[in-house]
A and B are shown apart, each in its own frame.
Chain A
Amino acid sequence: MEQTIAAGIAVAVFLVTYAMIISERVHRTVAALFGAAVVLFLGIVPWEALPEHLDLDTLLLLIGMMIIVNTSKESGLFEFIAIKTAKFARGSPMKVLLLFSVVTAVISSVLDNVTTVLLLTPMLLYITRLMDINPVPFLLAEVFASNIGGTATLIGDPPNIMIGSAAGLSFNEFLLNMGPIALVDLFTSLGIIYLVYRKAMKISDAKRDRILSTIGELDEADAIRDHSLFKKSVAVIIGVVMLFFIHDRLGIEPAVVALTGASVLLLWSGMDPEEILEKVEWTAIFFFMGLFILVGALVETGIIDGVARWILGYIGSTGEALIIVTWFSAVSSAIVDNIPLTAAMIPLIKAMGSSMNVYPLWWALSLGACLGGNGTAIGASANVVVIGIAAREGVRITFMDFLKVGLVIMFATVAIGLGLLWIRYIGV
């Protein structure tokens, strides 16, 4: 096939698939796989080139972490954490806001954001019902905290996994570059939530006593369904996190750490592997595979190189690129799912590497892709999940409700992150 026609088809398939993903009329996995099938069928991505486009590091890291999470979940570990957090808050709305946000951010930095909010939101709704208080600020804080927490580490959010794998960045590099930004941004977002909703966060002392006695009767031990698995899960998760800290010194990939942890936990717990592997989100894995192939088509046809050259024609320095990549990925992430956005941006930044230092740009992409999701209700999966859960429990969070707070938080946190990156890599 002639290169120009192939490029035209690749762009058309890419745009149509992304439109299908945004509209959500067709399941995003089906859309991505269909687009991938078209470019493979037409030979735009040659079969031999497939392994280099399918990012195995990302896929295996995701699978490994999903196995660890699904096995640990069976023990009641996360419900245990939720009850403990509720008890520590001692019926104070401010403490509930602060502690749940911090716990959400910490768990999100290790697990995927959707799993984190799925596990913590029921507990948060329960506490707000006990407090007889508007749950919206608490739910929004949880969403923002999960997206911010996910920014902090290599394994916190799929875009970071993809960036880490593509750029060969280590867990510690992520933690040192994005960790401080996430920490500052977390408290910034909490401050904004408090300023906006402070009047809705007051309860009487009598009500607080009632909450204290009810929560006091909760026994976190009730949440543990399997004590042996609970201990093994905690041990394996700690071990895996420790290994992540030293994986670059050991010379092993993060995916290997996750797979090792997963296999150790499966072997040690004696759980039925079929049951656990069934719960791996294969739809997400195939979604990634489809995206990698689609973006591979743009790489194969030279589209990515062309766009990179065009961008470089307008950008004079790394500083300019840092600003453009950060804000472009942030604003786009608020509208489009950050996974397809990151998949498209990675080869673009790689291509720009031929004529400038792109190391700071990886952090700019991570910052924009992860924190841009806070901008709108559809910006990140965690937002959709929390709003969906709230709707099911009779709490309405409209698109505009979210937008009013989300946009402020997105711009504030991205600006702070960009400022910190600028100081670090460009200088004052």
Chain B
Amino acid sequence: MDIFSRLIQRKFQNIAADRYEEITRRYREFLLLPEEFVLPEVRSILIPIDRFSGEIPEELYETLSAYSGASVTLVYISEKRTLALIEQTLGKEEAEKLRSAKMEFARALVLKIAPRLGELGLRIERRQFIGSKSDDVIRLMENDNFDLLVVSRSYGSEVTRTSPVSPVVLKIVQHLESPVIIY
């Protein structure tokens, strides 16, 4: 009877294979089995911040409260290329001034956000370094096995009317397989 199975598969391929793929894709958008309704377990969250990030909205705090007990890493990455460009054009001293100012800004920003997150039962870790905002966030997510990325849509640069998320965020989400919340 194997001959019939092959015949049926050939006929199915000829009649409807492509149409079926399209239909199942549509169904997948709103048909979930009970086990798929269960939220994935989140134990570690990465939140990259910078001067473009802006305020964390109240709704996001509410969402994060669902992950009470998880650890949150607030990371501030100073863009290496920007500092190198300043060094080339204005000199080492100016670049150092800018780096210090950025680090100070980062500390202030973390101090502002951390207590609020702590109130939600989240454990806070802080990191700041010089690197690439997009590449290093992707690397951290993959190497340190974070379960969730929470990022501002304007992280890394201003958003424009034509692009609702910054190019940095766009690059990050295109490279990640883990869940992402964009605020």
Contact = CB atoms under 8 A, between A and B. Distances in A.
Interface of A: 23-25, 27-28, 76, 79, 114-115, 118-119, 122-123, 126, 129-130, 210, 214, 217-219, 222-223, 225, 283, 377-378, 381, 384-385, 387-389, 391-392, 398-400
19 contacts: A24-B11, A24-B14, A27-B14, A114-B15, A114-B16, A118-B20, A122-B27, A126-B33, A225-B26, A385-B12, A385-B15, A388-B8, A388-B13, A388-B20, A391-B5, A391-B9, A392-B20, A398-B5, A399-B1
Contacts of A377: 4, 8
A222 B29 CA distance: 9
A130 B33 contact: yes
B116 interface: no
B31 interface: yes
A371 B10 CA distance: 23
Contacts of B27: 79, 122-123, 126
Contact of B30 (A25, A27, A115, A222): A222
Contact of A28 (B9, B14, B34): B14
A99 to B, nearest CB: 17
Contacts of A398: 1, 4-5
Contacts of A389: 12, 20
B84 to A, nearest CB: 48
A396 B37 CA distance: 27
Contacts of B12: 384-385, 387-389, 391
Nearest to A221: B30
A395 B115 CA distance: 53
A310 to B, nearest CB: 32
B161 interface: no
Interface of B: 1, 4-5, 7-17, 19-20, 23-24, 26-27, 29-31, 33-34, 37
Contacts of A119: 23
B34 A210 contact: yes
A332 B13 CA distance: 23
Interface centre among A23, A28, A115, A392 (most CB of B within 10 A): A392
B59 to A, nearest CB: 22
Given A130-B33, A210-B34, A118 B1 contact: no
A333 to B, nearest CB: 15
A126 B4 contact: no
Nearest to B12: A388
A28 B14 CA distance: 9
A384 B15 CA distance: 9
B15 to A, nearest CB: 5
Contacts of B16: 114, 118, 381, 385, 388
A384 B4 CA distance: 11
A283 B18 CA distance: 13
B9 A378 contact: no
Given A119-B23, A122-B24, A126-B27, A214 B34 contact: yes
A391 B14 CA distance: 15
A399 B33 contact: no
Contacts of A126: 27, 31, 33
Given A126-B27, A388-B8, A400 B1 contact: yes
